[in-house]
Amino acid sequence: MSDVEPRPRRKPTRVAYALPTAFTAGNIFLGFLAMLHSIQGAQAIGHPDAAAASFAFAAQMIGLAILLDGLDGRIARLTNTTSDFGREMDSLSDVISFGLAPALLAYTWGSQFIGGEMPLLSDQLSRAAKLITFLFLLCGSARLARFNVTKNPMPKNPGRPNRKYFVGLPIPAAAGLIAATVFAADGYPITWMTLSIVWLLLLVLLSWLMISPWRYYAFKDNAFLRPRSPLTIVLIGALIIMIFLWRQPVLLLMASTYTASGVLLRIGGIIRRRSRRAHNPPPALEQSVG
C-alpha cells in the first residue's frame, strides 16, 4: 500500500467555466441569424433566388447551432464545469435555436409562397400553418421542460440496460429535420399547396414525437476520450467524407433516419411483446367441480 496521498482535484478556473457558455452564446446567435434570414426570405416574394438564398442560409445556421449544442455540454463535462446556470442557459438557447428559429423557417418556407389561384384555401392554409408551427414551438418547449424537471428520465420501454435513451424526440433532432429538408431543396420555398399540406403534416408528426413517451437513442455515452475500434473510426471518417461530398442528401437522410428510429423502436417493441404473449399464453384457470 502506497503512502503517497492522491492529489486533490484542481478546481476549474473562471476561463474554463466561460468556455461552454461561449458555445451556448454562439448557439443563440446562430438561432438569431436563422430568424433574421427567414424573415428576409419571406420578404423576397417575387424574387425566388433571393428567397432561396436566405432560407438556405437560415437552415445552415440551425445546423451549425445543433453542432454547437452538442459540443457545449461535452466540453462542460470534460472540463468539470457543469453548473445549474449552464444547464438553464442551454435550455433557453434550445428554445430559441431549435424551437422559435425552425418554427419561423418552417412557416415562411412552407406556406408563404403558395400560389393565389385559390385565395380562400390559401388563406386557410396560412392560418393552419400559423397554428401548427406554434404547436411545434409549444411542444418543443414542453419537451425541454419535461427533461429539465425529470432527473434521469427513463421511458416505460427502456430497451437494453446498457443503452441510454431520450424520452421523446430531442428538440435539436426535430429542428435538424426541418433545416435538412429546407437545405436539401436549396432553400427554394414550397409553391404547391398539396406539398405544403404534406409539410404541415410532417410538422404535426414532429410535434407529437417530441412530447411522446417513445424512446430515442442518446449518444451521450460516446465520450470523446473513449478508445474506439478501427471499424468505428473508418465509419466516422467515411461519414464525414460523404457529408463533404453530398452534404444535402446525406444530412437529410441522417435526420430522417434518426427521427424514424423512435417510431421503428416503438413498433418493434409492440411486435416483440405480442410475440411473447403468443408463445407464452397465460395458464388456463382450473375449473372447480361441485
pLDDT in tens, the chain (290 residues): 445 454 555 566 666 667 778 888 999 999 999 999 999 999 998 898 999 999 999 999 999 999 998 887 777 677 776 777 778 888 899 999 999 999 999 999 999 988 766 777 888 999 999 999 999 999 999 999 988 877 555 555 555 555 578 889 999 999 999 999 999 999 999 999 999 999 999 999 999 999 998 989 887 654 555 666 788 788 888 988 998 999 999 999 999 999 999 999 888 888 887 877 777 765 555 444 43
Show the cell assigned to 68. 454547437
pTM more than 0.95: no
Tell me how far CA of residue 199 lies from CA of 86, 175, 206, 219, in angstroms: 34, 14, 11, 28
| pLDDT given at position 88 | 82
| pLDDT given at position 42 | 94
| pLDDT given at position 176 | 96
Q: Give phi and psi for 165, each to the nearest 5.
A: -130, 150
Residue 250 to residue 254: CA distance in whole angstroms: 6
Give the 3-state secondary structure of 3-34. Answer: CCCCCCCCCCCHHHHHHHHHHHHHHHHHHHHH
